[in-house]
Amino acid sequence: MTIPFPIKMLTCLFASLFWAQSAAAQLANPDDPLALHLLEVRDGKSSKLMSDALPDGPVIIHLWATWCGPCREELPEVEEFAKLLDEKGASDRFMVVSVDSIEFDDVENFLRERLGLQDLKTLQTAPELAPAVFPIRGYPVTFMLNDARQILRKQDGPIAWARPNIRKLLLGHLQVTP
């Protein structure tokens, strides 16, 4: 019996994808803290290492891009969640980071003018550096980190930030009273 060429190609493709994911998984121990000292974030005025920009304790880091359709749809709810944290005095525990290669002012203009998000604060990092520190498949992606900067939970894709059970989970992780 001869296997058709397209089937052979698909089999090779899936095998290579599986091998690549397995190899990548072996490179990083999920119990190791993230190397946040390797990632620089900037806000248009200054820059610092992500490790220095985060407070002690649990944090949530949300990575997004202006070119990402699901990111654009999700950002209004991200802004509302950030406002809630600000009201509770915990805004420093939530870091929103653009992974765009455009200028920071252009990222801010995109948020304000294209999306109408006047209050969302974002930082920016180099798009080629984020995957060197975080296990990223695509954007948006959200990480819940503990005090040791280990990943406790990762969400690939958008989150329903306004859903009560999601909000409760996120606030509980940050040790913020709902």
pLDDT in tens, 61-113: 999 999 999 999 999 999 999 999 999 999 999 999 999 999 999 999 999 99
Look at the alpha carbons of 101, 106, 112, 116 in this order and tell me if their dihedral is positive or negative.
negative
Q: What is the pLDDT of residue 161?
A: 97
Find the farthest-apart pair of alpha carbons in the chain and give their distance in angstroms, rounded.
Answer: 68
Per cent of the chain over pLDDT 70 is 83
Residue 2 — very low, low, confident or very high, per pLDDT cuts 50/70/90? low
Q: Which of 151, 112, 147 is nearest to 34 (CA)?
A: 151
Q: What is the pLDDT of residue 92?
A: 96
User: What's the average model confidence in pLDDT over 136-164?
Assistant: 96
Residue 94 and residue 121: Cα distance in Å, rounded? Answer: 10
- Res 177 pLDDT > 50: yes
Q: Which of 160, 35, 144, 49 is nearest to 93 (CA)?
A: 144
CATH class for the region spanning 33-173: alpha beta
Q: What is the pLDDT of residue 25?
A: 34
Sequence-distant (≥ 6) Cβ neighbours of residue 163 within 8 angstroms = none
**Residue 140, preceding peptide bond in cis (omega within 30° of 0):** yes
Cβ atoms 93, 62 nearer than 8 A: no
Tokens of 160: 């329903």
H or E, element range at 113: none
Q: What is the pLDDT of residue 29?
A: 60
Beta pairing, strands 94-98 & 123-124? parallel
Cβ atoms 119, 83 nearer than 8 A: yes
Domain boundaries in the chain?
A: 33-173
Average pLDDT taken over every residue of the chain: 86
Q: Which of 82, 85, 64 is nearest to 73 (CA)?
A: 64
Query: Is the pTM for the entire model greater than 0.85?
Result: no
Lowest mean pLDDT among 12-26, 92-106, 117-131: 12-26
